[in-house]
Homo-oligomer: A and B are copies of this chain.
Amino acid sequence: MTPILLNCRGAECSEYTEQVQYVKNPHLESMEEDILYHFNLGTKTHNLPAMFGDIKFVCVGGSANRMRAFAQFMHQELGQPGHVDDIRDICEETDRYSMFKVGPVLSVSHGMGAPSISIMLHELIKLLYHSRCRDVILFRIGTSGGIGLAPGTVVITDKAVDSFFRPQFEQVVLGKVIVRSTELDEGLSKELLQCSTELPDIPTVIANTMCTHDFYEGQGRLDGALCSFSTEEKLEYLRKAHEAGVRNIEMESTVFAAMCRMCNLKAAVICVTLLNRFEGDQISTHHDVLVEYQQRPQGLVAHFIKKRLGLMA
């Protein structure tokens, strides 16, 4: 990746030349103000470099409660000063997304589905750009349905594939379909897998992740309001996915991978499986067990971050 020279101004320039550019939009330079509407933040109303300039790790996940819990967990893991209950939601004025900062770690919720995470990522990537962040790594930590794995297994995504098992994301731009690669950083995935071996009780694999735009019909569930296929047809589709190397299904990985790749951001997807879809469709596992499962990707990423920061004993 070739470093790109930014259009710097005055004194800020000297310390800011060799940075990789995260945004790919020539129009941003000429905007007097940039309002990150869904975060309720802006370049005129907030000093973004002061607020976010030290960010090195961004973790995103669907649920606001879970991303708050992750921030509180990182607060303890990093030995940050102050009380965990004082970590405030930076986006508390809006209910679109939640955002928490703990030292160099930003924890942001993205809702469910590709459109929801894509709005968040556009504004997050602009936030990193306006804040002049560098060397940032992004993680999506989430939940998923497993294919042929014991519930509770963590899947680090090798390739994020679409409903047709293709490693691509189709983005419509001005009424034209643009195909984008969903390749993720292989070295990062391997480093995360290594981390999993250093922790007890986090069964982890690297495998392909299928991203669908629907939870019921799109994932072959028999329990939606609409279902026009048989149990055998469902199982045949899941078997085909399994043959294509898919071991879990979720709803955000392809656009996450595609946008991070386009924007020169190292990224990984780490999702725990809540059930084995060969055995059923409903998530009926006890709440406490699900909570423990959901902590596994958090524990893995926390371990990675602590190692990178040289905080391991």
Contact = CB atoms under 8 A, between A and B. Distances in A.
B24 A226 contact: yes
Nearest to A119: B215
Interface stretch (A26-34, A47-55, A77-85, A150-158): A26-34
A245 to B, nearest CB: 15
A43 to B, nearest CB: 11
Contacts of A119: 112-113, 214-216
Contacts of A65: 95
A122 B216 CA distance: 8
Contact of A229 (B113, B173, B251, B283): B173
Contacts of A63: 95-96
Q: List the number of copies, as a whole number.
A: 2
Contacts of A214: 115, 118-119, 171-172
A206 to B, nearest CB: 23
A64 B62 CA distance: 15
Given A122-B224, A216-B122, A283 B116 contact: no
A212 B176 CA distance: 12
Interface string A210-231: 0011111110101111111101
Given A95-B63, A226-B23, A226-B25, A175 B164 contact: yes
Contacts of A134: none
Contact of A113 (B116, B216, B282): B116
A258 to B, nearest CB: 10
A166 B76 CA distance: 52
A18 interface: no
A89 B229 CA distance: 35
A256 interface: no
A199 interface: no
A31 B223 contact: yes
A299 interface: no
12 contacts: A28-B223, A31-B223, A35-B282, A63-B96, A122-B215, A122-B224, A123-B225, A164-B175, A171-B217, A173-B229, A174-B237, A175-B237
Given A23-B225, A171-B218, 12 more contacts: A24-B225, A25-B224, A25-B225, A35-B284, A111-B111, A113-B114, A115-B251, A119-B214, A125-B225, A164-B175, A171-B217, A174-B217
